A and B are shown apart, each in its own frame.
Chain A
């Protein structure tokens, strides 16, 4: 009897304890630790976003006219599609360039790793405008890259004011956002698993593809999502490196709001971009879930 009664008591007490725990959390300090950040987000992000959304439905008159205009204009749809295409290319370039880089960071010694991390971070400390202007110098028709191409006797390629130029410039700016999450996941992968795979009969290449790559996917997805979403809203780099046929949505929005003072249309474009981003995030969410991955080094 006693043996059956004891668990019952503990079971009835547990939820009450949990609720008490939660109440204490709200009253206690932890809540106030996040309050300043929450306030800032509300004032600096939530409020303007609400105003922009409101104005997209209310200017010049109440209704959906701004959205009807957006989806009715082929130019807008082309730019929207191009924005997603360029972002996808940027993400791809970042994956191809960032994956081996992040992997190298996990296998080198601490000194070399520090240098590699600095190489990732130093561009972060330089203003985006400066970096993009550097790309202008490098990519322009008489620039460094084309001089080198001419030097080896090949015909120069058009880089500035093309999509290729925009992708190169954006990928360089966004690369750290791919490398850092990838590295964070890769450094937890136990390299001894590769040794185990080899002992079971896997060649080093197979062991890498079948064991290492799957374990690194959470970092790859995280980095790809961050890069893609940041790329969707990129403004300075496409504006300076791109031409009329590589305009991205952010440039159109800037045009509507600052040049034409058309807050309704600009707001509608912003809302479309935001909603499209959320839809994409929702689609990608299941990919990032890896409940059984422990992968920690012992």
Chain B
């Protein structure tokens, strides 16, 4: 499973729960992370992703379950003996130490000889391009610079596992996007296992090998970004990752067909809900097409009447929000070649039934997103 040359550690989380009195922060969470993998824990605040990170780091002790890092159980091992690097959202650099001394601190704790220490601090600062700042104090650095130093400090002692808790959360968008690429590069260079916590689904898609989507203390789905986007397992995942249109209505299943009634019009797909529940259809914006009302009738496609409520020009195309007959909103992405529409235009939204994802309806999916 784990490649032999990889310097990262595997992580095995099996049936882990964490309870605070009556509140369950983690509810039977299981997650296997490969050596050297970039795994992102994604979810809204309070979903259990940070608790999971704190359990791995040793800041929080789990209530029940198995936690193995590199094949060995670390349950009951105190944080300072786990040899895991942690990067925090608030940087957590020691304000009374220079950048150089901050990065040297974990080496000093491990009794690394002074001359080796110097060299390793230099190469760690070199990796994050902060060598010239070695004699500065953290208060003299910008947020992005501080987080790069924190990254150097968390990796200078060669931990087999690096945990990052929303490390870019406090930075502005441009800097965040640049540092995302830096983190990706550093992950490639180090070969260490990275576990990254974020509530930003775009960030998760940019960085990760795989993503675990958390909701209300449970993992909803684990998969690559493509899997989560194309084949969301739950309505929550489908709505949390990317834009989506959710079609709800009276559903009728006959044979191998499911039809949903949306304000008098039918959306039909030759799919069935495997595990029961009320079926809803989830559609990605690029699977929908927009035509002027009555302009074209396609037999093999579903057609829903609506009015353009919002038109957003994106450069590479446009994004439309179309209000359907039942008052719900369809999100449509068009390319430059497609016809352009104005707010208020009467349109038909077309889509193939095979492009719709049939999912069980879930009230919680809406509640937790707001």
Contacts and interface: CB of A to CB of B under 8 A. Distances in A.
Contact of B109 (A200, A204, A290, A298): A200
B96 A202 contact: no
B44 interface: no
A198 B110 CA distance: 12
A142 interface: no
B59 interface: yes
Interface stretch (A157-165, A168-176, A188-196, A223-231): A188-196
A199 B96 contact: no
Contacts of A292: 95-96, 137-140
B106 interface: yes
Nearest to A196: B92
B18 interface: no
B229 interface: no
B139 A294 contact: yes
Interface-centre pick from A199, A201, A203, A298 (highest chain B CB count, 10 A): A199
Contacts of B109: 200-202, 206
Interface residues of B, number: 29
Contacts of B58: 198-199
B96 A290 contact: yes
A245 B154 CA distance: 59
A193 B94 CA distance: 7
A233 interface: no
Interface stretch (B82-90, B180-188, B278-286): B82-90
A63 interface: no
Nearest to A200: B106
The interface residues of chain A, by DSSP majority, are classed as helix
B153 interface: yes
B157 interface: yes
Interface in B86-140: 86, 88, 90, 92, 94-96, 105-106, 109-110, 137-140
A293 interface: yes
A249 B84 CA distance: 59
11 contacts: A190-B90, A193-B94, A198-B58, A199-B57, A200-B80, A200-B106, A200-B154, A210-B105, A292-B96, A292-B138, A298-B170
Contact of A195 (B81, B92, B105, B139): B92
Interface in A12-50: none
Given A197-B105, A200-B80, 5 more contacts: A195-B86, A200-B105, A201-B81, A207-B80, A292-B96
B80 A192 contact: no
B80 A201 contact: yes
Contact of B92 (A193, A201, A204, A294): A193
Given A211-B94, A292-B96, A196 B80 contact: no
Nearest to A206: B109
Contacts of A202: 80, 105, 109
A292 B80 CA distance: 27
A294 B141 CA distance: 12
B106 A294 contact: no
B79 interface: yes
